[in-house]
Structure 1
Amino acid sequence: MDAQEFLPDEKVIASIRQDIARYEQERVRARRKVMWRVPLFLVLLAAAVWLLALAFNRVADPFEQWTSTPHVFLYVVGVILALVLYWRARKPVFELQRSFRSKLLPIIFGFIGNLRYGKGVRPESSDRLPPETVGDYDHAVYDDVVAGTYGGFSFELYEATFKDKVGKTETTMFKGIVMAFEMEQPFPGLLVATRKTDHVVSFFRGLFGASVDQVESGIPAIYEKYDFRTDNGEAAQPLVRGRLAQALQWLAEAWPGEPARVALRGGDGFLLLPTPKDFFELPPASVPLDYKTHVEPIIADMASLIATAALVRKVGSGGEAS
């Protein structure tokens, strides 16, 4: 799937460039505003802390000038306030970027039907995500969420981080892209492909008890990286030796790094791509926005993600993998 097929036509690109030009004017003004707001806010705070510290010196022990308990408390509060004021001073830039992204993404994703975009909201499909794909977690953070239809199937894509905290130790169970989509042919049960680990057996037993079995792909390159678990071995066996194995091999080439994870349950398919990358982020406010450099790569990334989902959703269908 060529990303060029997804690029807007010249008329839309010209409109986007005009929007970028207006954004650049606003970005420069916002940056100028921030350049005086940050030092002004911090200088005023420093002056207030210094004056209060002087006042504390009048009642403090001579040997505790500038270092008494009230002084230390004042300094801690000052640092906290400095962080708050720094964020407040830069708020015009943050608001400008957020507003422009919310306007830009629906335009450049015009090839997606029934497009819905959100940020920081809980995706509708997250309730159907099999927990076996990420393990036990008690906290989820969602960033960009894009949903719609393409090529005759609906999907929901979102950036997510799943974390589990035990005592004071917090573990990131998964961070990356999650794609939920309609399977071309429903799988009669549950089939999960996850990276192979030394603890996979106990991990799955803890989640399923005795309700699932391990199935082998018989392909050395896949066996070294993946464990497959299912509650329907008869239906799963042809997939892990055929189209699903082929899809995972393609994924390893297209998305190098930590192995992708796949889950099939009934008519729902899930593809999880571990990555620290923020796919849809605009450059920092200090960097001028350019269509070729910053916007086209976002379109290409989305095209690649949709192509990947389109491949995985066919693993249960007849015929040869494409």
Structure 2
Amino acid sequence: MKADDFLPGEDVIAGIKADMDRYEAERTRVHRSLLWRVPLFDGLTLLVIFGLAWLANGLAHPQELWFSTPHIFIYMFGFAALLFMHAQAVKPAKNLQQALRDRAIPVIFRFIEDIKYGHGTTPLSYERLPREMLGAFNRQQFDDVISGRYEDFPFELYEATLRQKSGKSSSEVFKGVIIAFQTPTPFKGVLFAARKSGKVAGFFRGLFGEKFKEVQSGNAALDEIYEFRTDNVAAAQPLVGGRLAQALEWLVETWPESPALVALKGDDGFLLIPQKKNFFELPGISQPLDYKLHVEPMVADMAALLATASLVRKVGGSDDQPAGPAQKE
């Protein structure tokens, strides 16, 4: 399997490039407008903040000029206002890029059947994700959400950032791509392979100690990286010591910078690939859009992600199913 196998045909490419030409004409106009919108919006906001702070000096003690309690409130609300106004200044650029993505993404991923695309929406499969594999988090943010069918199995792929916020502190629990898919054979319970836990994640998983038991794969290298936990040890042990271990070995080789995570829950499977990269991001509004430079890599990335999910979903299948990439055509 090569990424070229998934590239659109010439007629489809011609349609995409026509959309890109229209985008390019609008991009130039929007970029020019940003050159005055951003300084104007940000500058006026800063000027108002300075004016209010200067007026507040008349009410402040001489030793508290610029730093009295009213000043602090002005600066706090001023900072929020600055963020809002800056977002309004760049909004035309974001809207233009999103409009192109809305049109182009379902077309360039033509190898996905029944494809649906959304942005910033909550994925349908998110609520079924076993949270125990990640540790505690109470904030979530979603970027691109793509669903459809690949190799006759339905899937949902989304970019997510999960964070744990407590008071003024915030820590990132996961950032990357999550792929949810149906498994050919349901797992009776929950099984997940998570990174060896730190203190916070370890404490969180400890709360589920009675429900989730730890099992070992017998592979010293994998057991050093992964923590395997399940509420059905009898069903999990053959997978952890067999097909799941084989799949994880391949994942470690494919994504060495940060090990991918895997979970099975009933007939749901989840593959989590930690990644700082935004897989489906367009270049900034100041940069011209190029088909080979910006569009074709999206197709290659999507093909690789779905091929990886196709491999992982078979870990709980029967022995006549392929067990690894070497047996895939």
* TM superposition shift of 1:128: 0.9
Change beyond 3 A, Cα 1:166–1:42: closer
Q: Give the secondary structure class of the aligned counterpart of 1:265.
A: strand
Correspondence list, 1:155-304, <5 A: 155-197=155-197, 199=199, 202-207=203-208, 209-304=209-304
Q: Give the secondary structure class of the aligned counterpart of 1:90.
A: helix
Q: Give the secondary structure class of the aligned counterpart of 1:124.
A: coil
Q: Kindly indicate whether the alpha-carbon contact (under 8 Å) linking 1:134 and 1:162 is maintained by their aligned counterparts in 2.
A: no
* TM superposition shift of 1:66: 7.9
* TM superposition shift of 1:104: 1.2
* TM superposition shift of 1:166: 2.8
* TM superposition shift of 1:285: 0.7
Task: Give the structure with higher Rg (CA).
Answer: 1
Change beyond 3 A, Cα 1:213–1:300: same
Matches of 2:184 and 2:34, distance apart in 1: 51
* TM superposition shift of 1:197: 3.1
* TM superposition shift of 1:51: 6.8
* TM superposition shift of 1:216: 1.2
User: What residue is the counterpart of 1:148 in the other structure?
Assistant: 148
Deviation readout 1:140-160 (Å, 9 max, x if unpaired)? 111111111010100001111
Matches of 2:134 and 2:60, distance apart in 1: 57
User: What residue is the counterpart of 1:96 in the other structure?
Assistant: 96
Matches of 1:68 and 1:211, distance apart in 2: 54
Q: Kindly indicate whether the alpha-carbon contact (under 8 Å) linking 1:53 and 1:66 is maintained by their aligned counterparts in 2.
A: no
Q: Give the secondary structure class of the aligned counterpart of 1:268.
A: strand
Deviation readout 1:288-322 (Å, 9 max, x if unpaired)? 11110111111111111100110001111213513
Q: Kindly indicate whether the alpha-carbon contact (under 8 Å) linking 2:155 and 2:179 is maintained by their aligned counterparts in 1.
A: yes
User: What residue is the counterpart of 1:125 in the other structure?
Assistant: 125
Please identify, of 104-113 and 130-139, the stretch whose mean Cα deviation from structure 2 is larger.
Answer: 130-139
Matches of 2:37 and 2:87, distance apart in 1: 10
Correspondence list, 1:66-145, <5 A: 67=66, 80-145=80-145
Q: Kindly indicate whether the alpha-carbon contact (under 8 Å) linking 2:135 and 2:202 is maintained by their aligned counterparts in 1.
A: no
Matches of 1:236 and 1:148, distance apart in 2: 29
Q: Kindly indicate whether the alpha-carbon contact (under 8 Å) linking 1:194 and 1:228 is maintained by their aligned counterparts in 2.
A: yes
Matches of 2:282 and 2:17, distance apart in 1: 15
Q: Kindly indicate whether the alpha-carbon contact (under 8 Å) linking 1:60 and 1:68 is maintained by their aligned counterparts in 2.
A: no
Deviation readout 1:240-280 (Å, 9 max, x if unpaired)? 11111110011111112221111111111111111111111
Matches of 2:282 and 2:216, distance apart in 1: 43
Q: Kindly indicate whether the alpha-carbon contact (under 8 Å) linking 1:141 and 1:161 is maintained by their aligned counterparts in 2.
A: yes
Q: Give the secondary structure class of the aligned counterpart of 2:137.
A: coil
User: What residue is the counterpart of 2:18 in the other structure?
Assistant: 18
TM-score, scaled relative to structure 2: 0.87
* TM superposition shift of 1:283: 0.7
Deviation readout 1:12-36 (Å, 9 max, x if unpaired)? 1111111111101100000111212
Change beyond 3 A, Cα 1:240–1:55: closer
User: What residue is the counterpart of 1:37 in the other structure?
Assistant: 37
Q: Kindly indicate whether the alpha-carbon contact (under 8 Å) linking 1:217 and 1:237 is maintained by their aligned counterparts in 2.
A: yes
TM-score, scaled relative to structure 1: 0.89
Change beyond 3 A, Cα 1:297–1:66: same
* TM superposition shift of 1:206: 0.8
Change beyond 3 A, Cα 1:219–1:45: closer
Query: Could you tell me the percent identity over the aligned residues?
Result: 49
CA RMSD of aligned residues (A): 2.7
Please identify, of 212-221 and 104-113, the stretch whose mean Cα deviation from structure 2 is larger.
Answer: 212-221
Give the length in aligned residue pairs: 320
Deviation readout 1:50-69 (Å, 9 max, x if unpaired)? 77778778x67996898485
Amino acid aligned to 2:40: L
Matches of 1:142 and 1:43, distance apart in 2: 31
Please identify, of 236-245 and 160-169, the stretch whose mean Cα deviation from structure 2 is larger.
Answer: 160-169
Q: Kindly indicate whether the alpha-carbon contact (under 8 Å) linking 1:3 and 1:303 is maintained by their aligned counterparts in 2.
A: yes
Amino acid aligned to 1:254: T
Q: Kindly indicate whether the alpha-carbon contact (under 8 Å) linking 2:263 and 2:271 is maintained by their aligned counterparts in 1.
A: yes
